[in-house]
Amino acid sequence: MNHFVSMKDVTEHELMQLIKLSDEMDYNNGSTPFKEQLFAGNLFFEPSTRTKMSFLVAERKLGIEALDFHNESSSTLKGESMYDTAKTFESIGASFLVIRHSTNNTAQQLAKQINIPIINAGDGTGEHPTQCLLDLYTMYEEFKEFRGLNVAIVGDIKHSRVARSNAYALQTLGANVFLSCKKEWQDPSLDFPYMELDQAVKICDVIMLLRVQEERHKQHNRLYKTSYLSDYGLTKERANNMLDHAIIMHPAPVNRGVEIDSELVECKNSRIFKQMENGVKTRMAVIYQLCQSRGITHGNYYQKRQPIIVK
Ligand code: NCD
């Protein structure tokens, strides 16, 4: 594993290894597994609370120094390209880059151009592999296997990178994936059966809700909010029809009262805050695995240093 940009690239064996490794991540700043100081370039070009903060905590726990990058005060405002920004971080000694961008395939493209590992922290409507890994970890904690697990991914499928990464990875792991959403939000590129939520709650072990991706809709139509919960969201009535052992997931931020009844967010079957907790160790595992597999012991590992001869 050289980069972590798409769940399409990750095998069943690699996924299970990462889940196992996440469980073993008990480093805590000062017990770093790396021989030398590593630096992380966290390049967030889209808003983020959970993903950015859990990467920061994961890096700190691994003894990695996060380089302080703020898009709004960076040279991107002077027109510097994404490639030049990433190349700059590589040059000054970043050991890996964590990238979130509103354009699809940004991380995948950089992975072909940059010599240090790239971690995709969300590319447009494309993919969000570390969110997916923490989701998988949360499911595994609960059910101890994926084969035969019935998982419904519910909501704004078409615009959700979380839906895409989870659908690919769950398929790789042998789970049965069902999609549920209003017609306009179906995605023909995802070859999975669609099901009404009323039906899905009766047979699924996992109800994975998605945030309505308003910022990615061509037309902003806030009116949908008035009837969305009763038409397509997880109401208390629907939750009452769930299997006793079934869990509710949502990558957050949650639009309370839109995708889910506010009272269900912290109910007994909800794992929404557990997912956030699991985000730290799963991101530690991804960073650790990438650095290990590339033999990184310090930031400029890829440059064979030529000694300067003074005559
Ligand atoms: C997700 C994202 O940014 O794609 N959030 C997250 O990383 N936890 C989901 C979302 O914003 O809908």
Identify the CA nearest to 8 among candidates 87, 101, 126: 126
Nearest-atom number in ligand 1 for the CA of 100 is 3
Identify the CA nearest to 165 among candidates 46, 42, 5, 43: 5
Long-range contacts of 81-88 (CB under 8 A, 24+ apart): 82/45, 82/106, 82/110, 83/110, 83/113, 85/43, 86/41, 86/43, 86/110, 86/113, 86/114, 86/118, 87/113, 87/114
Query: Structure pTM?
Result: 0.94
Ligand 1 pocket at CB < 6 A: 50-51, 122, 128, 131, 161-162, 211, 213, 251-252
Q: Does domain 7-128+278-304 have CATH number 3.40.630.30?
A: no
Fold of the 129-274 domain:
Rossmann fold (3.40.50)
Distance 209 CA to ligand 1 centre (A): 11
Q: Check residue 226 and give its pLDDT.
A: 74
Q: Kindly list the domain boundaries of the chain, sorted by start residue.
A: 7-128+278-304, 129-274
Helix (H, G, I), strand (E, B) or coil at 65: strand
Q: Check residue 141 and give its pLDDT.
A: 97
Q: What is the mean pLDDT of residues 274-284?
A: 98
Q: Check residue 262 and give its pLDDT.
A: 98
Helix (H, G, I), strand (E, B) or coil at 121: strand
Give residues with Cβ within 8 angstroms of 52, minimum separation 6. Answer: 42, 44, 100, 121
Residue owning the nearest CA to atom 1 of ligand 1: 251
Q: What is the pLDDT of residues 110-126, one digit of tens each?
A: 999 999 999 999 999 99
Q: Which of 45, 211, 272 to mutate to test the pocket of ligand 1 (most atoms within 8 A of CB)?
A: 211
pLDDT-derived band at 272 (thresholds 50, 70, 90) equals very high
Q: Do 7-128+278-304 and 129-274 fold alike per CATH? A: yes
Distance 38 CA to ligand 1 centre (A): 27
Distance 189 CA to ligand 1 centre (A): 20
Identify the CA nearest to 263 among candidates 233, 288, 293: 233
On the CB side of 85, how many CA atoms lie within 13 Å of its CA? Answer: 26
Q: Which of 55, 106, 162 to mutate to test the pocket of ligand 1 (most atoms within 8 A of CB)?
A: 162
Q: What is the mean pLDDT of residues 224-229?
A: 81
Distance 242 CA to ligand 1 centre (A): 25
Q: What is the pLDDT of residues 153-179, one digit of tens each?
A: 999 999 999 999 999 999 999 999 999
